[in-house]
């Protein structure tokens, strides 16, 4: 069986977790600080704040840019549901924009048409690791005086105009879930260019407490903390950070291997008329967190039939990226919403196995199996 994904974890990470446990410091402490510093350096960000997941990262990012009940936040529906859930946590309303068929990223013209005086922020997603057009969205946000937040859950190691994701805007949120490019079990990171955001994020992730555990621990005189705001417990543990530090060292290699596999898939499928392969617009470099293949109407079988046939050959696949607006919880909240482009992309695309441990033979096996089914 070839799985859809597999985290790249070795003895390095196991030993790092072992050492963290035996150090006696297991929650947010010195290793979290080190992971933040290394992550910030790696993505060219002035500041990085570690949290428990990308979902909690998004929640805090929206809070620090001032999102309040009644505000509207524009985001894609075609994304993991956490994207729009984070907006609802703030009491704000997600307004769903369409995505572009080529990149699966949010469509700026549709976004433009959805902005109004209630629009507080635009939440762009670098879907499956493919960078969205950050400069175009930054210009639109400047123009309308609204905030820009990046859901970079899938985009650790991706680049836009020569620079890493995390270096471009005020707020970018990353995920270290095992399905993402590097993992800490669960975990997240927020990068920011603004020191006042950094300070507020650190406060909110730890109960609104004025002094961190680390500072209190290292203090040589008495310090009493105050809780200056209603915060959250969104901490990352030192065990997770220890694993993250080791994973970060492998990031370049992991992205390189993922890109090689994606290039192999592209070469194998590009000439098949009923398929559409992902395409990197100029200036954008994807880490290929996922590889999505789109089946046109002319395909000899449906997407679900293709998934079932591949499974009988031992190849695991997944449906294309979900749409939030068709999930039960969202239909109950907002009723029927129609987003034909997103729905079509979600329903006609298939994710193929892609992970650094996938061998060349396995890649060849997947491409041959797909070609057999669709090109016959």
> So which residues are the catalytic ones?
180
If binding is defined by CB under 6 A, does position 345 make contact with ligand PLP?
Answer: no
Report the b/e string of 3-19 with b at 16+ CB within 10 A.
ebbebbbeeebeebbee
Q: Does residue 49 sit in helix, strand or coil?
A: strand
**Pairing between strand 119-125 and 72-76?**
parallel
Q: How far apart are CB 78 and ligand PLP at their closest, in Å?
A: 10
Only one of the segments 1-9, 59-67, 146-154, 336-344 lies at the binding site for ligand PLP (rule: CB under 6 A); that segment is: 146-154
The site map against ligand PLP for 184-213 (x = CB under 6 A) is ----x-------------------------
How far, in Å, are 6, 255, 293 from residue 366 at the CA level?
Answer: 16, 20, 12
- In angstroms, the CA 60 to CA 86 distance is 9
For ligand PLP, which is the closer residue by CB, 54 or 350? 54
- In angstroms, the CA 335 to CA 326 distance is 9
List the beta bridge partners of residue 47: 192
CB atoms within 10 A of CB 329: 12
Only one of the segments 20-28, 150-158, 253-261, 359-367 lies at the binding site for ligand PLP (rule: CB under 6 A); that segment is: 150-158
Residues in contact with ligand PLP, counted by CB under 6 A, come to a total of 14
Instruction: List phi, psi (to 5°) of 265.
Output: -60, -45
202 token code pair: 């650190």
For ligand PLP, which is the closer residue by CB, 174 or 197? 174
- In angstroms, the CA 92 to CA 58 distance is 13
- Estimate the share of the chain in helix, then strand, then coil, as percent rounded to the nearest 5: 40, 20, 40
Q: Does residue 370 sit in helix, strand or coil?
A: helix
Q: How far apart are CB 326 and ligand PLP at their closest, in Å?
A: 17
Q: How far apart are CB 319 and ligand PLP at their closest, in Å?
A: 14
The site map against ligand PLP for 50-89 (x = CB under 6 A) is ---xxx-----------------------xx-xx------
Q: How far apart are CB 113 and ligand PLP at their closest, in Å?
A: 23
Q: How far apart are CB 360 and ligand PLP at their closest, in Å?
A: 27
**Positions 153 through 172 that interact with ligand PLP (CB under 6 A):** 153-154
If binding is defined by CB under 6 A, does position 131 make contact with ligand PLP?
Answer: no
For ligand PLP, which is the closer residue by CB, 140 or 172? 172
Please give the residue ranges that form the binding site for ligand PLP (CB under 6 A): 53-55, 79-80, 82-83, 125, 151, 153-154, 175, 177, 188
């Amino acid at each position: 069986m070839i799985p859809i994904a597999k985290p790249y974890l070795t003895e390095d990470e196991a030993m790092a977790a072992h050492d963290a446990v035996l150090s006696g410091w297991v929650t947010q402490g010195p290793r979290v600080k080190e992971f933040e510093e290394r992550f910030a350096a790696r993505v060219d960000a002035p500041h990085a704040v570690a949290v428990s997941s990308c979902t909690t990262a998004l929640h805090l990012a929206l809070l620090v840019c001032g999102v309040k009940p009644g505000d509207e936040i524009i985001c894609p529906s075609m994304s993991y549901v956490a994207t729009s859930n984070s907006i609802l946590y703030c009491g704000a309303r997600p307004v769903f924009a369409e995505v572009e068929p080529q990149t699966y990223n949010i469509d700026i013209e549709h976004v433009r048409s959805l902005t109004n005086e209630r629009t507080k922020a635009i939440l762009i997603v670098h879907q499956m690791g493919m960078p969205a057009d950050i400069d175009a969205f930054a210009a639109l946000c400047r123009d309308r005086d609204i905030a820009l937040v990046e859901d970079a859950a899938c985009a650790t190691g991706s680049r836009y105009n020569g620079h890493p994701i995390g270096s471009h805007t005020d707020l970018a949120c990353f995920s270290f879930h095992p399905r993402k490019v590097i993992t800490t079990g669960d975990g997240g990171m927020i990068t920011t260019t603004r020191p006042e955001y950094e300070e507020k994020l650190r406060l909110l992730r730890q109960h609104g407490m004025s002094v961190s555990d680390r500072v209190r621990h290292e203090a040589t005189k008495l310090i009493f903390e105050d809780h200056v705001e209603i915060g959250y417990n969104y901490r990352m543990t030192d065990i997770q950070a220890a694993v993250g530090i080791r994973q970060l060292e492998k990031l370049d290699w992991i992205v390189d291997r993922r890109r090689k596999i994606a290039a192999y898939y592209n070469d194998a499928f590009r000439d098949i008329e009923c398929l559409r392969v992902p395409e990197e617009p100029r200036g954008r470099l994807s880490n290929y967190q996922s590889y999505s293949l789109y089946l046109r109407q002319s395909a000899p079988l449906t997407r679900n039939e293709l998934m079932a046939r591949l499974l009988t050959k031992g190849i695991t696949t997944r449906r294309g990226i979900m749409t939030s607006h068709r999930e039960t919880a969202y239909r109950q909240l907002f009723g029927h919403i129609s987003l034909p482009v997103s729905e079509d992309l979600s329903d006609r695309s298939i994710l193929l196995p892609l992970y650094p441990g996938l061998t060349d033979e396995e890649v060849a096996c997947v491409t041959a199996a797909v070609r057999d089914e669709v090109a016959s």
